[in-house]
Amino acid sequence: MKFAETFKALSDPVRREILNMLKKGRMSAGEISSNFDMTAATVSYHLSILKKAGLVFEQRKKNFIYYSLNTSVFEELMLWAGNFITPSMEKEVQHEN
């Protein structure tokens, strides 16, 4: 995983919203773009950043481009972040619940 590219992609609220939309399933670039008040070129830029970071897959079918989540990158990110949880932090979280 390229952490710098991943964190850069996740740092933008538009890109995070695109990822939230893709949780529901595959969407075309046009479907994604229709949810934003910005040009298709701007949405395409955001999608290219997500693709470069490996957070989304791109699939071309005829005249359409479809995007879907690459969950393996999220799994890898969670495993990496989990390394920072110490046993004492786990106990604190359990006591809060």
The single-letter code of the amino acid at 17 is E
* Separation between Cα atoms, residue 97 and residue 78, nearest integer Å: 21
Could you tell me the two tokens for 24? 């529901």
Question: Is CATH 3.40.50.1100 the classification given to domain 3-96?
Answer: no
Q: Give tens-digit pLDDT for 16-72.
A: 999 999 999 999 999 999 999 999 999 999 999 999 999 999 999 988 999 999 999
Residue the block writes with tokens 């949780």:
23
| Pair type for strands 27-28 and 56-61 | unpaired
Burial (CB < 10 A; 0-12, 13-18, 19+), residue 83, is exposed
The H or E element spanning position 28 is strand 27-28
Where do the domains of the chain lie? Answer: 3-96
